[in-house]
């Protein structure tokens, strides 16, 4: 629980930036993007798979400047393609295997472009920041609900070989907390429940 609180204290200022349109949004978004990429790549490094992390970070910075300067889609696409080709040449000179190359670009597609979509949702859709906040909040609520329910009522292990501390009761508790909070959140902010 202590680790969860420390993480929340560190990430909360960055999440606050996601409600401020303009430069703070872009900077906060790219910092979170790089943190997520780092965690993604490190998870594979623990399995002795070594993606090219610097290429992912370069893509993050390109997306940052693309948002700041509102580059046209044609210019943006061309730049991403050029970086992709240069990145491929760089990777091949290092004699990386196919799996490491795949993981490198999987991280870019999965994290960089997803975060960029979130940033654009906030920037271009009225009330978009509310829906984005909901994503982060329900993730926290689900995790916290699962933790407390599992700790107090958990008996049946969920997947002991992968995560020995998680229980079926905790998992169900997290889902229930997520649904209830989402409904309350939607009512408070008068959101379309069908979208939530």
Phi, psi of 149 (to 5 degrees): -65, -45
pLDDT of res. 115: 80
pLDDT of res. 11: 65
CA–CA dist 11, 180 (Å, integer): 24
CA distances for 40 relative to 19, 171, 196, angstroms? 25, 23, 27
- Mean pLDDT to the nearest integer, 161-188: 89
**pLDDT tens figures, 110-146:** 888 888 887 877 777 777 778 877 887 888 899 889 9
8 Å CB contact between 105 and 161 = no
What residues contact residue 37 under an 8 Å CB cut-off, 6+ apart?
53, 56, 57, 60, 107, 108, 111, 112
pLDDT of res. 186: 87
pLDDT of res. 71: 61
**pLDDT tens figures, 66-84:** 776 666 667 777 887 888 8
Residues forming beta bridges with residue 159, ordered by sequence position: 163
8 Å CB contact between 119 and 135 = no
């Amino acid at each position: 629980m202590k680790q969860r609180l420390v993480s929340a204290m560190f990430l909360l200022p960055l999440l606050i930036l996601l409600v401020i349109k303009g430069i703070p949004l872009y900077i906060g978004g790219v910092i979170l993007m790089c943190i997520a990429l780092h965690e993604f790549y490190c998870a594979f490094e623990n399995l002795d798979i070594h993606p090219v992390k610097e290429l992912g970070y370069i893509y993050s910075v390109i997306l940052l400047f693309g948002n700041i300067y509102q580059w046209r889609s044609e210019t943006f696409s061309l730049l991403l393609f050029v970086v992709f080709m240069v990145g491929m040449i760089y990777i091949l000179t290092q004699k990386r295997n196919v799996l490491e190359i795949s993981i490198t670009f999987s991280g870019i597609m999965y994290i960089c472009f997803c975060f960029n979509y979130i940033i654009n949702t906030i920037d271009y859709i009225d009330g978009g920041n509310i829906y984005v906040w909901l994503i982060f909040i329900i993730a926290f609520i689900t995790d916290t609900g699962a933790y407390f329910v599992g700790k107090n009522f958990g008996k049946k292990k969920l997947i002991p070989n992968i995560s020995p501390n998680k229980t079926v009761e905790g998992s169900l508790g997290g889902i229930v907390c997520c649904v209830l909070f989402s409904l309350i959140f939607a009512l408070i902010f008068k959101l379309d429940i069908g979208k939530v």
